[in-house]
Amino acid sequence: MAEESRAFVPGHVTGFFSVHRADDPARTGSRGAGVTLADGVTTTVAPADETSVTLNGDRTSVEAVERVLAHLDVTARVRCETPLPAGAGFGVSGAAALGTALAAADALALARTENDLVRVAHVAEVESGSGLGDVVAQARGGVPVRLDPGAPPHGRLDGLPAAGRVEYVSFGELSTASVIEGDVADLSAAGERALATLRDRPTTDHLVHLSRTFAREADLVADDVGAVLDEVPGAAMAMLGRTAFAFGTALSDAGYDATATAVHPGGAALRE
Amino acid sequence: MAEESRAFVPGHVTGFFSVHRADDPARTGSRGAGVTLADGVTTTVAPADETSVTLNGDRTSVEAVERVLAHLDVTARVRCETPLPAGAGFGVSGAAALGTALAAADALALARTENDLVRVAHVAEVESGSGLGDVVAQARGGVPVRLDPGAPPHGRLDGLPAAGRVEYVSFGELSTASVIEGDVADLSAAGERALATLRDRPTTDHLVHLSRTFAREADLVADDVGAVLDEVPGAAMAMLGRTAFAFGTALSDAGYDATATAVHPGGAALRE
């Protein structure tokens, strides 16, 4: 048994999505597309008699993380470090949940496969109401396209080949739960249209274009993000947060004080 | 259209496998388990009127690479760079085929998804007789477990969570085609037993143990590799090459002049 174990999980911004609910939380999820980011969450887990969670050094509570540990039937000290703002559409809770699952299984020698641990983290996210598709996208990396909702073995993913710089500007939080637990019929119809259209021409330019249309159709554009989208044709909104993102230098070229990161080439993984 | 595009694909050593043939090469493949390596193949593709392929600067011919370009209906200049020996069980041909698919699609703006390109590379490998499971494993990264044979959407994978050092010692080539195109009934039965047993206790230690047993049962152990396996309980044989590999420092601790690499945390991806 390791003293402690560490996992890195990329951030994830969703461009568009549809909501799919089932009785089984492992079959519940979203379809859609987004981008995983080299800016992510590093989670360190050490066995402990009582569970505690810190985020960038501050004691906190992340329901999805606590549910992961409960599903694994362990207690542990969990430390999450990230440059990403929480609640702003970067999948920080999903990353913390998946990182906890991977690192806890290693630290406590639980002998679980990656698909098992992705399922545990996805179920914990769904039960917490904090996300529907981040965990499976973060497990895959790159520019994930969620073809079918849910965790392994139910969900099915593809990806758009892409590398290089991604920029983002964030204005703060938007409640994921208030959107995905409300009436999502129109939103889901718009997300399904976007996915079908993306599959006809699977490129990152098209992903951005369809994400912009989706944000308007689903009526989710906050004022501050809307101003960015109006000014920068290559920018889209991160679902769900008051965040705009773009490939390349589109945001900094337009004069925004954007944070630069990159498409993360791989998915979630243990780190030495 | 880019001037040229580049992709990195990790190396892959298989520990055990079974052979599954179907009329459709996309459904043909192997089940089994192995390790992807941070030592891999970087492939650069530039549009050209006539196809040419170099490996570490030397003009060569790689049937799987040429088949990938033919399937994509393009011609290109393909440059592969790798520290890995060819023909020694590291999946160099699969990596070159998959890297060519990813980089050619980008350089020539073909608008294909990753699953599509993995399928093209897998089919090219199967048709060339140079591999059955490397491409899908290399697309995934980590420590891939091939649960069902074939390319997306047919194949199905899982993985063992792992990170850190991997060592290898290689004594040279073993013909993949001569093994996988011969009588594989006993080999496949041994591979199926190993996979079922691994799923009961999915750890890297167990993977090494089962791989050692498989190599003996399938009667594939070359003399020079056999001497290493006898001396180093933590070493297994790379299928198919005269190569021994081990997690951690097992080979160097035993005095072998082993090459050090690491578990590759992600799968194949475009690089800037």
Instruction: Tell me how far CA of residue B225 lies from CA of B29, B32, B91, B202, in angstroms.
Output: 26, 20, 18, 25
Instruction: Tell me how far CA of residue B162 lies from CA of A2, A236, B156, B159, in angstroms.
Output: 13, 35, 19, 9
- The CA distance from A144 to the nearest CA of chain B, in Å, is 9
d(CA A148, CA A155): 5
Q: Where are the alpha helices (DSSP H) in B31-91?
A: 63-72
Label residue A73 left, alpha or beta by phi (over 0 means left) and psi (-120 to 50 means alpha).
left
Question: Which of A114, A204, A210 to mutate: most B Cβ within 10 Å?
Answer: A114
B contacts of A109 (beta carbons < 8 Å): 203
Of A8, A105, A114, the CB nearest to B159: A114
The beta strand positions in A84-214, using DSSP E, are: 144-148, 156-159, 165-172
Residue A163 is predicted with a pLDDT of 97
Residue A250's pLDDT band (cuts 50, 70, 90):
very high
B contacts of A165 (beta carbons < 8 Å): 272
Flag if A270 and B112 touch (Cβ within 8 Å). Answer: no
A contacts of B161 (beta carbons < 8 Å): 7, 102, 105-106, 112-114, 117, 269-270
- 């993977």: which residue's tokens? B207
Element (DSSP H or E) covering residue B206: helix B204-217
Is residue A98 within 8 Å of A114, Cβ to Cβ?
no
d(CA A192, CA B199): 36
Of A115, A202, A272, the CB nearest to B113: A202
Of A102, A145, A165, the CB nearest to B113: A145
* DSSP notation for A9-54: EEEEEEEEEEEE--SSTTT-EEEEEEEEEEEEEEEEEEE-SS-EEE
Model pLDDT for residues A6-18, shown as the tens digit of each residue: 999 999 999 999 9
Mean pLDDT, residues A18-22 taken together: 96
Two structure tokens written together for B121: 């590379």
Model pLDDT for residues B94-106, shown as the tens digit of each residue: 999 999 999 999 9
- The CA distance from A73 to the nearest CA of chain B, in Å, is 18
Residue B208's pLDDT band (cuts 50, 70, 90):
very high
Map residue A80 onto helix, strand or coil.
strand
Mean pLDDT of chain B: 96
Element (DSSP H or E) covering residue A64: helix A63-72
Flag if A106 and B142 touch (Cβ within 8 Å). Answer: no
Provide CATH code, domain A1-272: 3.30.230.120
> Has residue A175 got a pLDDT over 90?
no
Q: Where are the alpha helices (DSSP H) in B11-91?
A: 63-72
Whether pTM > 0.80 for this model: the answer is: yes
Domain range summary for chain A, segments of one domain joined by +: 1-272
Model pLDDT for residues A107-132, shown as the tens digit of each residue: 999 999 999 999 999 999 999 999 99
Flag if B201 and A111 touch (Cβ within 8 Å). Answer: yes
Is residue A5 within 8 Å of A43, Cβ to Cβ?
no
d(CA A123, CA B176): 42
